[in-house]
Amino acid sequence: MKLRTCPSCGSANIKLYMGGQLGIQYKCETCGYIGALIIEQDVEKKFLRGRKK
């Protein structure tokens, strides 16, 4: 499972934002960032294992 996070504020509240001729872009609902660059994190293991300290 991939979690898309904002490169600006780190929020995971990312929505697809169709940029027309620019192609697919993403919009951060938290800080308003719009761009094709987002950070994808593989969070599957974290979710399965939970917080283990």
* DSSP string across 10-49: --S-EEEEE-GGG-EEEEETTT--EES--EEEE-HHHHHH
Query: Considering only residues 5, 26, 27, 28, which one is a binding residue for Zn ion as defined by CB under 5 A?
Result: 28
Query: Considering only residues 3, 12, 25, 30, which one is a binding residue for Zn ion as defined by CB under 5 A?
Result: 30
Number of residues that bind Zn ion (CB under 5 A): 8
Residue 8 interacting with Zn ion (CB under 5 A): yes
CB 52, min distance to Zn ion, A: 28
The distance of Cα 44 from the centroid of its chain, to the nearest Å, equals 15
